[in-house]
Amino acid sequence: MFKNEEMEINLGPQHPSTHGVLRVKLRLDGETITHCRPMIGYLHRGVEKICENQTFFQGQVWTDRMDYCSAVANNLGWAEANEKLFGITVPRRAQYIRTMLNEFNRLASHLIWLATHALDIGAMTVFLYAFREREDILDMNEAFCGSRLTTTAFRIGGLREDLPPGFEKLVKKFLAKFPTCLEEYENLLSENRIWKKRTIGVAKLSAEDAIALGVTGPVLRAAGVPYDIRKAFPYAAYAEMDFEVPTKTEADTYARYLVRMEEMRQSARIIQQCMDGMPEGPVMAKIPKILKAEVNEVYHATEAPKGELGYYLVGEKGSGNPYRFHVRAPGFINLQSLPKMAEGGLIADIVAAIGTLDIVLGEIDR
Amino acid sequence: MNKLLRTLIPFDIAKGLSITGKHFCKVFFTANRRKVPFHIVSEYPEVVAKVQPRYRGRLTLLKDEQGEIKCVCCLACEKICPTQVITIEKGKKEGRKMPFPVRYDFEMERCIFCEFCVESCGFDSIILNHQFELATYNREDFSIGMEGLAHNMYEPSPVGKFSVADD
């Protein structure tokens, strides 16, 4: 009956392995995907338009809710874009604390990626172990700013409060045990034959294609392009940090896994350096109570855990809210490489392809 | 030859099983002696999770030593709120120089717990308490005001239940 006939199916929007409400339109020839189109927009809230109707100060709470797995990184981008717009210099201690919290957030985001990616492919144990470590990071978020997920951690011009007493102890405790935890995940996955068969050679994206599609973050670095905004255009206190940008040339799912694991090690190194070289001083710059913009536009890009997160802000003279606000979300642009990865492959491998892109639909649909 | 041995004998699977087995033994032999760290699994309704001192819970109006409401209706919190959940009505009370809030309404269903209101308050008259069990059966219960049967704005954190974490 179905001989020589292509079948069209929808993967999602309520599929557990599409990480939210992504719908993928697939055309199948047997088990091979011949056509793949991601359909988005199920979580659209109009964050950009909402921010245009709110003051610069209030806008930060909406950035929490874009990529909810890495809210601190989004806050950092928002705060720095505004500081660029108003020409504010942030105290050095605030820069260090921001860098440290941002790296903790990268760890949390990568841990949740590892957990869900492994769960999608079939390794269930890692899911529980990775969430155990993520819990410690969320506790630190709670100790610093009072909230675990939607942090609203920074303010334009610095931080609201200094680090709470006893924070160093939490960081030390975490850094002491984290390398062993990473080894545990690698022992469970790196040499596992099922994991290797499901990931090696799956969802390939060459460096040329990745650059042509504008893909950034670990997906690009796994294709052999050492592009990291923390190194290329340093922001916060990254210019003073000593870390490496891991790259791999295989450009498949396994290479992306190795790159992200190595990135977690480097993040732990950066946190250690931040703790060692933490300067004393104030954490908030002197800023006017009501921020009024000039006619000016800025684009500020930061390296969020998923890739290049850019904020484009246009100010209007004498206005307290942005005239135009646009987000270059890494997830949105990385998702456009899904057809390149999945077409020609098997239908079972599209789950690995979605997992390896590390998408969060809150950020894609905004 | 080495590769053939590797395919025949499942070293990798044994390696994975040894890790899960280690964790299983750790929990299995120490569970009764309370050596398992608290946060990995806590039996929630009986053992309530401890929150940090800066935890952002429900909005609370504070009173001073005389039992007077500290709020003076400067409307800073109402203006800064990103979701417009606070409504204040100015009024006067006998024997009080400062304005007095006749009505202080808080729509908790829209609140995003960002603590901007507390930050903007120049009189330290509001805080976010440590309460996180905020679910109710009726929608009306989320509209919290100065008068209310089940909940009102003065309700502090329940003592002893939502205590602050030690370490």
Q: Tell me the domain boundaries of chain B.
A: 2-33, 59-144
Give all strands of the β-sheet with A32-39 in edge-to-edge order: A7-11, A23-29, A32-39
- Chain-chain contact of B40 with A132 (C-beta, under 8 angstroms): yes
Any CB–CB contact under 8 A between B147 and chain A?
A: no
- Chain-chain contact of A164 with B53 (C-beta, under 8 angstroms): yes
Mean pLDDT of B90-97: 78
Of all residues in chain A, the one with the smallest CA distance to B81 is A58
Q: From the list B113, B119, B167, which residue is nearest A147 (CB)?
A: B113
List of chain B residues whose C-beta atoms are within 8 Å of the C-beta of residue A132: 40
CB B117 within 8 A of CB B80: yes
Residue A285: CB atoms within 10 A of its CB come to 15
* Inside any domain, residue A1: no
Give me the pLDDT at residue B167, please: 45
- Single-letter amino acid, residue B25: C
List of chain B residues whose C-beta atoms are within 8 Å of the C-beta of residue A191: 11-12, 15
Residue A142 CA to residue B55 CA, distance in Å, equals 6
Give me the pLDDT at residue B31, please: 59
Residue A135 CA to residue A66 CA, distance in Å, equals 21
Q: From the list B11, B56, B80, which residue is nearest A147 (CB)?
A: B56
Give me the pLDDT at residue B152, please: 66
Give me the pLDDT at residue B34, please: 56
Q: From the list A125, A164, A187, which residue is nearest B15 (CB)?
A: A187
Residue A141: CB atoms within 10 A of its CB come to 23
CB A85 within 8 A of CB A296: yes
List of chain B residues whose C-beta atoms are within 8 Å of the C-beta of residue A74: none
Q: Which residues pair with A8 in a beta bridge?
A: A27
* Inside any domain, residue A230: yes
* Inside any domain, residue A2: no
Count structural domains, chain A: 1
Is residue B37's pLDDT more than 60? Answer: no
Q: What phi and psi values does residue A133 have, to the nearest 5 degrees?
A: -75, -35
Give me the pLDDT at residue A189, please: 85
List of chain A residues whose C-beta atoms are within 8 Å of the C-beta of residue B113: 147, 150
Residue A219, domain extent: 7-365
> pLDDT in tens for each of the 366 residues of chain A?
556 788 888 887 887 777 778 888 988 888 888 888 988 888 888 888 988 888 888 888 888 888 888 889 999 999 999 888 888 888 988 999 999 999 999 999 999 999 998 888 888 888 888 888 888 898 888 888 888 888 888 888 888 888 888 888 889 989 998 998 888 888 888 888 888 888 888 888 888 988 999 899 898 998 888 898 988 888 888 888 888 899 988 888 999 999 999 999 999 999 999 888 888 888 888 887 777 777 788 899 998 898 899 999 888 887 888 888 999 989 899 998 989 888 888 888 888 888 888 888 888 888
Residue A224 CA to residue A251 CA, distance in Å, equals 7
DSSP letters, A247-284, are --SS-SHHHHHHHHHHHHHHHHHHHHHHHHT---S-SB
Of all residues in chain B, the one with the smallest CA distance to A131 is B40
Any CB–CB contact under 8 A between A240 and chain B?
A: no
Q: Residue A334 sits in a domain of what CATH number?
A: 1.10.645.10
Q: Which of A30-39, A275-284, B21-30, B108-117 has the lowest mean pLDDT?
A: B21-30
The domain made up of B59-144 is a member of CATH 3.30.70.3270: yes
